[in-house]
Each structure stands twice: as C-alpha cells, then as structure tokens.
Amino acid sequence: QKEVEQDPGPLSVPEGAIVSLNCTYSNSAFQYFMWYRQYSRKGPELLMYTYSSGNKEDGRFTAQVDKSSKYISLFIRDSQPSDSATYLCAMSPITQGGSEKLVFGKGTKLTVNP
C-alpha cells in the first residue's frame, strides 16, 4: 500500500462547477497537509497548507483534513478554465530541524471546460 493514494483522474468539469479532489493516507505520523497546483511543464505552486484536522478556506478554495479517517480534500468553488492543472496533495510528519520532507500523491489532472 502506498503511503498516499490519489486518484489520477482525469477529471473534466464545466465552468462554474464545484470540484472535489481527495487523498487518503496510511501514515499516522503525517501532521502537515498541503495542496499544490502544477501547470504543464512548471513546478508545483502551493495552494493550501493545513496543520490540524478541520477546514481552511482561501477564496474559492477550501481544504479539509480528517485525521481520524486519514482523508484530505480540496474543494474548488465556481471553477474556472484557468483552474485546469494537475492538483497534488502532499503531507509530512513533524521534522527534527530543517523543513518538512513531503510525500506526494500522484496528482489529479483537472480540466475545466468553458
């Protein structure tokens, strides 16, 4: 079993739809949870960063973490064609010095059609 599981899609939705992206994980040591957006041939761009269970909202994006179920979600409201990209979930345990060593899912490719 992989540490982080993410459905690679592809996912295709009409403009304005609500998008739900999900990851599950198996390592109870994971404490930090992130969502990155990656456009084709670019590096990942941080969208959301959460530390604990619960919801975090930033504009049209909402990140949800359920540690009891080992399940995280990203919701995109009023999706736009510019949201078309690959969305990567990433997570990390608490580290001793330095920064988090991220474990990524495979990424979900999203297309928002005008």
Name the site residues for other proteins (rule: CB under 8 A).
Answer: 4, 6, 8, 32, 34, 36, 41-46, 49, 51, 88, 90, 95, 97-107
Q: Which C-beta is closer to other proteins: that of 55 or that of 95?
A: 95
On the CB side of 67, CA atoms within 13 Å amount to 14
Cβ-based neighbours of 60, under 8 Å, separated by 6 or more: 76, 77, 78, 79
Q: Which C-beta is closer to other proteins: that of 13 or that of 93?
A: 93
Q: Which C-beta is closer to other proteins: that of 57 or that of 78?
A: 57
Q: Return the closest-CA partner of residue 58 out of 41, 26, 34.
A: 34
Q: How far is the CB of 93 from other proteins (least distance, A)?
A: 11
Q: How far is the CB of 49 from other proteins (least distance, A)?
A: 5
Cβ-based neighbours of 66, under 8 Å, separated by 6 or more: 53, 72
Q: Let me know if 82 is exposed, middle or buried by CB neighbors in 10 A (0-12, 13-18, 19+).
A: exposed
Q: How far is the CB of 105 from other proteins (least distance, A)?
A: 5
Q: Which C-beta is closer to other proteins: that of 36 or that of 76?
A: 36
